[in-house]
Structure 1
Amino acid sequence: MALKVTRKCLLYSVLAVVAVAAILSTILVLALRDDEEIMKSYKFSNSDLVIQLVEQPDHRYVISLVRDVTPIQRITLDHDFTDDSEVEAIPDGLRLEGHGQQIEIRNVEDTRDFSLISITRTLQKGQIISDVIHTDEIILQREVQWYGGPEQKEQYYPVQRLRFEDYAYVPKELNSAAIVERYWLNSAGLFFYVEKEVPLFIDQDENTLRFTAKKELPYYTYDDGFVFNYRIGVAKDAKEAHLKAVDKVLNKPVGIPDERMVRYPIWSTWVRYGRPISQQTVLDYASEINGYGFKNSQLDIDDYWENCYGSLIFNPITFSNITELTEQLKEMGFRVTLWVHPFINKNCQPWYTEALSKGFLVKSHNQSIGYNTKWWNSGENEASYINFNNPSAVEWFRQRLQELREQGIDSFKFDAGETSWAPEDPDVEGSTALLPSSMTTNYVRMCAAFGPMIEVRTGWTTQDLPVFVRMIDLDTHWGIRNGLQSLIPTLLQMNLNGYPFVLPDMIGGNVYGDDILTKELFIRWMQANTFMPSMQFSKTPWDIDLETVEITKQFVQLHEDFSDYILQRMRLAVDEGIPVNPPIWWLDPEDEDALKISDEYLLGEDILVAPILIEFAITRDIYLPKGTWRDGNNNQVYEGSRWLKNYSAPMSTLPYFVKTSFQMR
């Protein structure tokens, strides 16, 4: 039965009860109050969750989620329904209709410990709809914290400090948004997941997160209709909500990355040598690494080794015999990887002409743009982007990489991949509802086909892949804007978006421009990295001094000592979807102090790491969550749920703590 609403400020309630066969049915109950509000609510049968609807004076509706009689979340549904709107019960939910729009709110899953709600619209081109998630909730006098969201150059954590305005939610180079899963989690035990077909833009301020659906660039704009749908998961706390999200929407990895990349450092030519590089440069570098007594997982030959960008052929002048080089490196104990990118510069002939003639390049619907793009190694309109949505282009690219492997290259470091490197308004294959982000997905899946030893730096719905995902290039300074202080927030952001195999960027950053890598910054960066899944060097400790060499060896060995445990946690991520490096609230999701901590992290559930991240600091305050902890430096034992004030950490000391119950398995 439909109820036609003509009064403002009406409250709708729909009660659901369990039938004899345990089938949920919906009952409409009306109660006229003194203020003439009509009350309706929808109650889940197996949990204490209730959905309430309140019509606002402007005819928009607010969804209130109520758990154990306590309101836990408000969502304002955007639309002028006018005073002729209708609300009706449907199987497992409610339908709102009015002014040419229909919204369905459905109970998708209902158990004692978890509820899943979907909110769905079908819209027409030209419609712009924004739903507002109220992020400033206070629940039982506790502020709600938010996690997930996009990777950013200025990576705050919790993420309600981020600010966005009409922000197209696709993987892109701007602000280092290489990971932009449509997933937000809060400390009240809720998650929001916007479906991947939605042309999503976000706005965020101190009070709200706004989801806007509209057919505008960078999305595909030529369809007449589109969907706006998202899901809301409700569990008892943030930990349980996240584990449900991994199971329902994010996916678990199907395997783990290469084990040697976990145990021993990666060495890259990039920061130390820049571009171009040569065969002799690489050999000298390998000799120095061995000479100073360091182990390795591999040596990465970075930019610029090609004879032109996009040829995938070694420059015969700077690399006279690549097979001889790889054989020598392997005799020295190194595996060899190669930096690879998805571009072809126009002056790189005949490969550019071949790719163009075969339709292997991304073109724009805009004829004035054509195939033109720009990246950091080309001029304006002097390059094109390979179309990884085209299976023939993927095979062409793979075959050329395979030829490099036949010369002794073991694997690849794949750069770029975000949608913004392609020409605007791309005209490529595949589902139009998934453009442009499907270009990122298909690129990353092509990369992952080369095995667990590869690395990528971007992803979109690719959490299932058993490969390392690298942080975007970090700058060489201490600050939160892409410096050392962004390292832990980025680690947590990636883990809470379902990417547990995080490859931190070069220790010490990339030393771009006027940046200066000091001894203190190098050591503190290296310490902060120690309990992350892998360690990656380019600037070397012997570039600084011999004391730095000895301190670095100490922490490289510490990382190796715990590498079995890192691998154990990686396998657990595969089996159960648990982050490898969770936030410290993972141990106690009700701990208000832990929920806010952004400069500490866990390895698994047994190691807590609290590095020094401020220049000249030799002490810091450390919060220990629930548990019994043994200091990794002096064996002192502490009970958790407490602060350690002014913990002493001179430059050779990394504060870390191990649960007394911990045993390496």
Structure 2
Amino acid sequence: MALKVTRKCLVYSVLAVLVCAAVLTTILVLALRDDDEIMKSYKFSSSDLVIQLMEQPDHRYVIGLVRDDMLIQRITLDHDFTDNSEVETIPDGLRLEGNGQQIEIRNLEDTSNFSLISITRTLRKGQIISDVIQTNQVVREREVQWYGGPEQKEQYYPVQRLRFEDYAYVPKELDSAAIVERYWLNSAGVFFYVEKEVPLFIDQDESTLRFTAKKELPYYTYDDTFVFNYRIGIARDAKEAHMKAVDKALNKPVGIPDERMVRYPIWSTWVRYGRPISQQTVLDFATEINGYGFKNAQLDIDDFWETCYGSLMFNSITFPNITELTEQLKEIGFRVTVWIHPFINKNCQPWYTEALSKGFLVKSHNESIGYNTRWWNSGENEASYINFNNPLAVEWFRQRLQELREQGIDSFKFDAGETSWAPEDPDIEGPTALFPSSMTTNFVRMCAEFGPMIEVRTGWTTQDLPVFVRMLDLDTHWGIHNGLQSLIPTLLQMNLNGYPFVLPDMIGGNVYGDDILTKELFIRWMQANTFMPSMQFSKTPWDIDLETVEITKRFVSLHEDYSDYILQRMRLAVAEGIPVNPPIWWLDPDDEIALKIDDEYLVGDDILVAPVLTEFASKRDIYLPKGTWRDGNNNQVYEGGRWLSNYSAPMSTLPYFVKTSFQMR
């Protein structure tokens, strides 16, 4: 029989331990606090975790997660309870009821090393409920650090420095939020995963992260009820917690991307030539790459090659014979890819009319918006977005891409895909609770059908796909705001959201507007990129000078030398879900210094990279985590857990260190 407790009770008793066969069950302890708040505790049987419930004077409840008699996480539940609120025991948990509403807190998993609980409730249309996660905590006299969260243009790491206000948590162009997995992890060994059906908004300040569930745009607003569910995992440290999150929520990739894209540079026409481009431009570029002695994974024909945006047909004036071009490129050692987008401009006929008449475009519920959208290659209301939630539209798009492959195109670079490119309040197919983010999922899954050579730049619950995910366009400057100093934080953010196959953007950035790519910035960017999974060039080293060519060749060769190890770590990501490029605390999750380092990264467990990211700098301080390290530049050996102050790194030097125990397998 369920036990009910109300605030009118004067005395609380201690429930006896329930025993079923040889299995221990939980203990529910109810006690009256000195300050008249009611404390209720749920103790796990296999671990030492305790969930404490404290009722506040405003009838909200606070969950305290206690391990080793120490509070490690505090969550304030937003709910309209009254004086008649009740708590009852249910199998493996507690149920809070009041004012016609209910929250269930359940124990989903309980082992000696890991506990998993769920917070679930069903809300009515019009309700707005916010739960508050405390982030400015101190556990064991150490400040707790936070990881995960959204990809951002200003990509801080750790992520508690980010600030959000009523931020719709969907993949979108704004702030470069192309990866917005609903996952947060902290250094105390706690992770939060908000279920994908929740219409989630977040707020974040210096002390809290607020999860708000509400049926407002950009989500589907026409359901009468909706859920507000999330899971909390608790392990001994951040590394153990993350590996459990991979298993329980994030998933592992099922295969690895194309190996040649790992070993050799990708070359793109985009930054060097912009638009328009031509058949001769592409051929000349390939000839130059070979002439300077560089290898290649492939050559990407970027914007603008189509007859019009959305035709998926080569312009016969600028590309008079695409089959001849692809044959020529393959004869000199190049595979060929082309840039693809999910839009059709209205002036792109007859393809626009065909897509419109067949119902292949995204339409808004708002009749005044209709099928209209805008992207960077159209004017306002002069384009539409293909509806990848419609299987017939997917097949139509797929068949047209297949026709390109028949002309010698090996694969595709897929751009866009975030939800914000579609018309607001989309009227599309599929489970309404997943709108609008299912548009991103379905687009990316369609892209992945074209094999491991493709690249995408967005994702939502697509960590299982064996493809490269590209960082969004980076700008050509040194700073943290989408410049060179955001490169490593973005790499770490993507890995800790379950996307280990990271394709960094163009070396040197995109040189937009008044940006200037200096020799120093190009070289430092290229060095920082050297131990990441792939190297991608558009602006070339010979555009700068011959010394830059020689320095670039050396680091491209260094990347190739270690490509077997990078591929080994990619396969380990498939087998076990381990990040390819983890943060340096991965080697010691209790290292308080390592937990905050944002300008170094690892390759697996054996290589530490500490590039120079500051203009005019020829030295930097380097933190070595636990282990015995050999300097990759001079073979000097160091014991970890220490700083190397003023490490000399002139422009031709990339500081990196390899474990003395390292052996290529």
TM-score (norm 2): 0.98
- Give the conservation status (yes or no) of the 8 Å contact 2:37–2:54: no
- The residue aligned with 2:522 is 522
Is the Cα–Cα contact under 8 Å of residues 11 and 37 in structure 1 kept in the other structure?
no
Equivalent residue, structure 1, for 2:95: 95
Partner of 2:420: 420
Q: Which residue of 1 aligns with 2:614?
A: 614
Q: Cα deviations across residues 443-492 of structure 1 (Å, max 9, x unaligned)?
A: 00000000000000000000000000000000000000000000000000
1:141 offset after TM fit, Å?
Answer: 1.1
**Distance in 1 of aligned mates of 2:571 and 2:171:** 27
Q: Tell me how far 1:101 sits from its aligned partner.
A: 1.0
How many angstroms apart in 1 are the aligned matches of 2:194 and 2:56? 24
Are the structure 2 counterparts of residues 293 and 31 from structure 1 closer, same or farther at C-alpha, using a change threshold of 3 Å?
Answer: closer
Counterpart Cα distance in 1 of 2:396 and 2:380: 26
Question: Match of 1:136?
Answer: 136
Letter in 1 for 2:64: S
Q: How does 1:330-349 map to 2 (within 5 A)?
A: 330-349=330-349
Pairing of 1:230-249 with structure 2 (within 5 A): 230-249=230-249
Aligned partner of 1:599 in structure 2 is: 599
Give 1:198's aligned residue: 198
Change (3 A) 1:650 1:365: same
Structure 1 residue 24, shift from structure 2 partner: 5.0
Structure 1 residue 25: Cα displacement: 3.5
Which residue matches 2:444?
444
Of stretches 20-29 and 397-406 in structure 1, the one that deviates more from structure 2 is: 20-29
Whole-Å separation in 2 of the counterparts to 1:155 and 1:15: 48
**Residues 24-79 of structure 1: CA distance to partner in whole angstroms, max 9, x if unpaired?**
54444444565555442100000010000001111100000000100000000002
* Equivalent residues in 2 for 1:276-287, closer than 5 Å: 276-287=276-287
Percent identity (aligned):
88
Residue 396 of structure 1: how far off its partner (Å): 0.3
Match of residue 361 from structure 1? 361
- 1:6 maps to 7
Distance 1:508 1:31, change over 3 A: closer
Tell me how far 1:429 sits from its aligned partner: 0.2
User: Whole-Å Cα distance in 1 between the matches of residues 36 and 378 of structure 2?
Assistant: 67
Distance in 2 between residues matched to 1:488 and 1:407, nearest whole Å: 38
Amino acid of the structure 2 residue aligned with 1:105:
I
Tell me if 1:434 matches 2:444: no
Aligned residue in 1 for 2:161: 161
Alpha carbons 1:581, 1:603 under 8 Å: kept:
yes
Question: Residue 14 of structure 1 contacts residue 42 of structure 1 at CA under 8 Å; is this kept in 2?
Answer: no
Asked if structure 2 preserves the Cα contact closer than 8 Å seen for 1:26 and 1:90, the reply is no
- Please give the secondary structure, in 2, of the residue aligned with 1:79: coil
- Taking the aligned partners of 2:138 and 2:527, their CA distance within structure 1 comes to 37
For 1:516 and 1:622, locate their aligned partners in 2 and report how far apart those are by CA, in whole Å: 28
Give the Å deviation of 1:140.
1.7
* AA partner of residue 488 (structure 1): I
TM-score under structure 1 length normalisation: 0.98
CA distance in 2, matches of 1:537, 1:562: 19
The AA in structure 2 aligned to 1:504 is P
Whether the aligned pair in 2 keeps the contact of 1:15 and 1:26 (CA below 8 Å) is no
TM superposition shift of 1:83: 1.3
Offset at residue 82 of structure 1 (A): 1.6
Q: Indicate how the Cα distance of structure 1 residues 282 and 36 shifts in structure 2: closer, same or farther if over 3 A, else same.
A: closer
The one-letter code sitting in structure 2 at the alignment partner of 1:573 is A
Contact 1:12-1:53 at 8 Å conserved across structures: no
CA contact (8 A) 1:125 1:215 kept: yes
Distance 1:597 1:13 in 2: 48
Deviations, residues 364-415 of structure 1 (Å, cap 9, x unaligned): 0000000000000000000000000000000000000000000000000000
Which residue identity is paired with 1:229? N
Matched with 1:663 is 663
Supply the distance in 2 between the matched residues of 1:435 and 1:135 (Cα, whole angstroms). 29
Q: Counterpart of 2:80 in 1: which secondary structure?
A: coil
Q: CA deviation at 1:21?
A: 2.6
Match of 2:574 in 1: 574
Partner of 2:378: 378
User: Residues of 2 paired with 1:39 and 1:443: CA distance?
Assistant: 48
Deviations 1:68-108 (A, max 9, x none): 10000000000231211001111100000001210000000
Deviations 1:318-349 (A, max 9, x none): 00000000000000100000000000000000
Hey, what's the Cα distance between the residues in 2 that align with 1:287 and 1:634? 36
Does 2:37 correspond to 1:68? no
Show the counterpart of 2:183: 183
Structure 1 pair 189–406 and aligned structure 2 pair: CA distance change class (3 A):
same
> Which has the larger displacement, 76-85 or 426-435?
76-85
8 A Cα contact 2:337 2:410, kept in partner: yes
Output the CA distance in 1 between the equivalents of 2:33 and 2:465: 55
Q: 1:510 to 1:234 in 2, by over 3 A?
A: same
What are the ranges of 5 or more consecutive residues in structure 2 without an aligned counterpart? Answer: none
Secondary structure in 1 aligned to 2:121?
strand
- Give 2:193's aligned amino acid: Y
Do the aligned residues in 2 keep the contact of 1:12 with 1:41 (CA within 8 Å)?
no
Compute the displacement of 1:5 (Å). Answer: 2.4
Tell me which amino acid in the other structure corresponds to 1:50. Answer: V
Task: Give the direction of change, closer, same or farther, for the CA distance of 1:477–1:84 in structure 2 (3 Å limit).
Answer: same
Question: Does the 8 Å CA contact 2:29/2:42 hold for their aligned counterparts?
Answer: no
**In 1, are the aligned partners of 2:37 and 2:55 still within 8 Å (CA)?**
no
Q: SS of the residue aligned with 1:361? A: coil
Cα 1:340–1:37, aligned 2, differ >3 Å: closer, same or farther?
closer
Q: C-alpha distance in 2, partners of 1:146/1:14?
A: 36
Change in CA separation of 1:35 and 1:445 when aligned onto 2, cut-off 3 Å: closer
Match of 2:275 in 1: 275
Task: Using the TM superposition, give the Cα deviation of residue 361 of structure 1 relative to its aligned residue in structure 2, in angstroms.
Answer: 0.2
Q: Which residue of 1 aligns with 2:388?
A: 388
Q: Quote the residue 1:207 is aligned against.
A: 207
Structure 1 residues 174, 31: closer, same or farther in 2, change over 3 A? closer
Q: Which amino acid aligns with 2:498?
A: G
Q: For the structure 1 residues 15 and 114, does the alpha-carbon distance in structure 2 shift closer, same or farther, using more than 3 Å as the test?
A: farther
Tell me the amino acid that sits aligned with residue 154 of structure 1. Answer: E
Distance 1:277 1:151 in 2: 31
**Does the Cα contact within 8 Å between 2:468 and 2:503 map onto a contact in 1?**
yes
Alpha-carbon offset, residue 3 of structure 1: 3.2
Structure 2 equivalent of residue 535 of structure 1 = 535
The CA distance in 2 between the partners of 1:374 and 1:215, in whole Å, is 25
Alignment RMSD, CA only? 1.4
Query: What's the CA shift for 1:615?
Result: 0.3
Distance 2:376 2:387 in 1: 19
**Alignment partner, residue 513 of structure 1:** 513
Q: Which residue of 2 aligns with 1:476?
A: 476
Residue number in structure 2 paired with 1:557: 557
Q: Is the 8 A contact 1:12 1:38 kept in 2?
A: no
Counterpart secondary structure, 2:555:
helix
**1:265 Cα offset (Å):** 0.1
Indicate the SS of the match to 2:102.
Answer: strand
